[in-house]
């Protein structure tokens, strides 16, 4: 009888284990060294080198769509010559730029 009760208690635990493992969040495919190397000097993000994930992680108020818009602008118009060029991207205003100005650089 005791074995039957234990099997009823342990069976759901072991049955849920594979689902828990497969549902675990994935590991970030970008190594930390790559993020640090694209941050440049003094933890500043180079707008001409940073990828989407770096922009999202390092900048305040920049999500996936704005990060992709920055990269799309860079690809369409060439490298940034100034941090102020971000104002030409839809969704990025002067308040957002000023909040992140000390984190940005253009090389």
What's the whole-number mean pLDDT along residues 8-22?
59
96 band by pLDDT with thresholds 50, 70 and 90? very high
**Residue 11 Cα distances to 1, 7, 14, 23, 77, angstroms:** 15, 6, 5, 19, 59
Determine, yes or no, domain membership for 28: no
The predicted structure's pLDDT at residue 43: 82
Determine, yes or no, domain membership for 30: no
Statement: residue 55 has pLDDT above 50: yes
CATH number at residue 50: 1.10.150.320
The predicted structure's pLDDT at residue 31: 45
Number of domains in the chain: 1
Determine, yes or no, domain membership for 96: yes
Determine, yes or no, domain membership for 5: no
Determine, yes or no, domain membership for 23: no
Residues 34-47: tens digit of each pLDDT: 444 444 456 899 99
């Amino acid at each position: 009888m005791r074995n039957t009760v234990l099997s009823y208690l342990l069976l759901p635990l072991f049955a849920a284990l594979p689902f828990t493992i497969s549902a675990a969040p994935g590991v970030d495919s970008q190594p930390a060294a790559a993020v640090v190397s694209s941050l440049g000097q003094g933890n500043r993000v180079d707008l001409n080198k940073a990828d989407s994930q770096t922009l999202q992680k390092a900048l305040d108020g920049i999500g996936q769509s704005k990060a992709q818009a920055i990269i799309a602008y860079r690809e369409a118009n060439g490298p940034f010559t100034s941090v102020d060029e971000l104002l030409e991207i839809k969704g990025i205003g002067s308040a957002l730029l000023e909040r992140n100005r000390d984190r940005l650089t253009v090389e």
